Structure 1
Amino acid sequence: MIINRIGAEFAYEGVTYVIGAPIVGTPGSEYEGLYGSITEIRDGEDKETENETPDMECSFEAPVIPYDVKELEERFSELYQYPKAIDDIALDLVIMAPEMIRPLDDLRECRHYPMVYVLAEDWAVEGEHGRSSEVYTDFDDAKRLLIQKLEEELENGCIPRWAGYENFVVHSTADSYECYIDGEYCENHYSLSIIAQKLCASNRFVRELAEIYKASCQLEDFVSKVSDWDEITKLTDGQYERLVHDTRFPERLENALGKNDHYWESYWETVSEVAHGLVKEYLDKPDCYKPEADNPYPLCVGNGTEECRECCLWADLQPDIE
């Protein structure tokens, strides 16, 4: 079997490989850390190697960071026991085993962009300087830490000493503070600011967060279930604390649910029931239907056309009064 059509998929040991989709070389392979794409997959009698696994023909991009170039050259020089420069290393039509590459999501697709807040701190005192940054997913967390840091500086830092200078300058907004000695900014300044920016989150990252949240909820369910059991009163305080924070429970619960046929039968029956209801809604409503927000039984908000005035689904439809 030969697969080389762009977008064609090939599943192997639970991983889906897509022709033309981005990949990265995995640790331990000669092309570790290099980015590229799969150009062709051969399996069965069509393989060009005698490997037990499918042949993954890949095209890799040449590294551009000098450090990465040096690493690649040293890796291949050691492998071939002969000095290798970047131009001597094959990057196209490279046959890889599946475990030597890892599929990546397309940066232009399958991405979520939640807002994050970077608390940036920058300072210089008598020529010595430093900077740091911390990332938060909630603005109030960042603002609270900004206030705490500023309180510490106002009490024990350099600001009280500078405040007595005539050329001491302070600027502040709702989410930033900056002070300095005028004419000596490079040598003496302190600033804190919150920078809002979007985070490019991959599906893998979102799944990992979802798993963390689900495990937390399952642990809460576990504690709620056992809290009034008579056996719990026989535990010491230390044992109880370890029990209610035992991270093994979510894993054991997932393993048990995976073997529970009744649970999964009920789950898929419910999925089918809800799906049928949603499909029926779409079949019963015209293409122009736009549901109201925050309404469990939404009507249509309309699109401003004359047809909306006569549509029984329109939220602003006025009944005829005789």
Structure 2
Amino acid sequence: MIINRIGAEFEYDGTTYVIGAPIVGTPESEYEGLYGTITEIRDGEDKETENETPDIYCSFEVPALPCEVKKLEEIFSDLYDEPKTIDDIILDLVIMAPSMVETLDDLKECRQHPRIHILLEDWAVDGEQGNSSEVYTDFNDAKRILVQKLKEEQESGCIPQWADDEKFKEHSTDSLYECYIDGEYCESHYHIAIVSQQLCVSNRFVREMGWLYQASCQLEDFVSQVSDWDELDQLTDEQYNRMVQDPRFPERLQNKLGKNDSYWEAYWETVSEVAHEFVNEYLQEEA
């Protein structure tokens, strides 16, 4: 079987590979970290290799970073036991095993764009300069830290040191504070602000966050279930704390649910019931 039509899909071991889709080389390949696209997939009698897995043909991009070019040249020089330059390395029609590539989301596809809040701090005091940044998903979390840091500066930092200077200037908004000595900004200033930006979130990140949240909820359910069990008195505090945070519980629960036919029958029955409700609501709109 040969697949080379753009957009055609091939599923192997739970992963869907799409012709024309972006990929990156994994640590199992000499092309680790290189970006490229899938150009063709061959399986069965049409494979060119003797691998048990499908042959995935990839076209890789020339690395943009000089350090990555150097690393690639070193890898292939060691592999062939002779000096190799980037011009000697094949980047087109490279046959890869599924484990050697990781599929990537298309950046042009619709993604989640949550807003994040970056707390930026910058200062120059007594001949020393520095800056820091911290990222928060909640504005109020960032604002609380801004207030804490600002109070520290107001109480024992540069602000009381400069406050009596006639050239002292300060400016503030609900998400920014800045002070400096006029005419000496580069040498004497303190600036702290919250900058809000949209974050381009991949579908994989959303799934991983969903799994983490689900696992957290399942651990809470676990604690709720066993909280009044008499046998817990036999555990030490250290054992109990370790048990209620054991990541194996969500994994084991998911495995059990996956084999529970009654659970899935009830789930899909409920999905069907709610789906019918929604369809009927929209049909009534048309009427």
The Cα shift of 1:19 comes to 0.1
Task: Give the aligned partner of residue 310 of structure 1.
Answer: none
Count of residues in Structure 1 that have an aligned counterpart in Structure 2: 287
Is 2:28–2:99's contact at 8 Å kept on the other side of the alignment?
no
Question: Structure 1 pair 237/94, CA: closer, same or farther in 2 (3 Å)?
Answer: closer
Task: Give the aligned partner of residue 204 of structure 1.
Answer: 204
The two structures have a TM-score, normalised by structure 2, of 0.94
SS state at 1:170 partner: strand
The Cα shift of 1:110 comes to 4.3
Q: Does 1:268 align with 2:264?
A: no
- Partner AA of 1:171 in structure 2: H
Q: Which has the higher contact order (CA 8 A, sep 6+)?
A: 2
Question: Structure 1 pair 258/126, CA: closer, same or farther in 2 (3 Å)?
Answer: same
Task: Give the aligned partner of residue 92 of structure 1.
Answer: 92
Q: Which moved more, 1:155-164 or 1:171-180?
A: 155-164
Q: 1:164-183 alignment to 2 at 5 Å?
A: 164-183=164-183
The Cα shift of 1:200 comes to 0.6
Task: Give the aligned partner of residue 78 of structure 2.
Answer: 78
- Partner AA of 1:278 in structure 2: F
The Cα shift of 1:160 comes to 1.7
The Cα shift of 1:151 comes to 1.0
Root mean square deviation, CA, Å: 1.7
Q: 1:26-65 alignment to 2 at 5 Å?
A: 26-65=26-65
Q: 1:1-322 alignment to 2 at 5 Å?
A: 1-286=1-286
SS state at 2:210 partner: helix
The Cα shift of 1:270 comes to 1.3
The Cα shift of 1:50 comes to 2.1
Cα distance between partner residues in 1 of 2:178 and 2:124: 12
Q: Which runs of 5+ in 2 are unaligned?
A: none
Q: Which runs of 5+ in 1 are unaligned?
A: 287-312, 314-322
SS state at 1:201 partner: coil
The Cα shift of 1:57 comes to 0.9
Task: Give the aligned partner of residue 308 of structure 1.
Answer: none
The runs of 4+ residues in structure 1 deviating greater than 6 Å are: none
Cα distance between partner residues in 1 of 2:32 and 2:239: 45
The Cα shift of 1:247 comes to 3.2
- Partner AA of 2:276 in structure 1: H
SS state at 1:262 partner: helix
SS state at 2:33 partner: coil
The Cα shift of 1:233 comes to 4.5
Q: Which deviations, in whole Å up to 9, do the C-alpha atoms of 1:295-321 show, x marking residues without a partner?
A: xxxxxxxxxxxxxxxxxx7xxxxxxxx
Is 2:121–2:193's contact at 8 Å kept on the other side of the alignment?
yes
Cα distance between partner residues in 1 of 2:33 and 2:242: 40
Is 1:127–1:186's contact at 8 Å kept on the other side of the alignment?
no
- Partner AA of 1:33 in structure 2: G
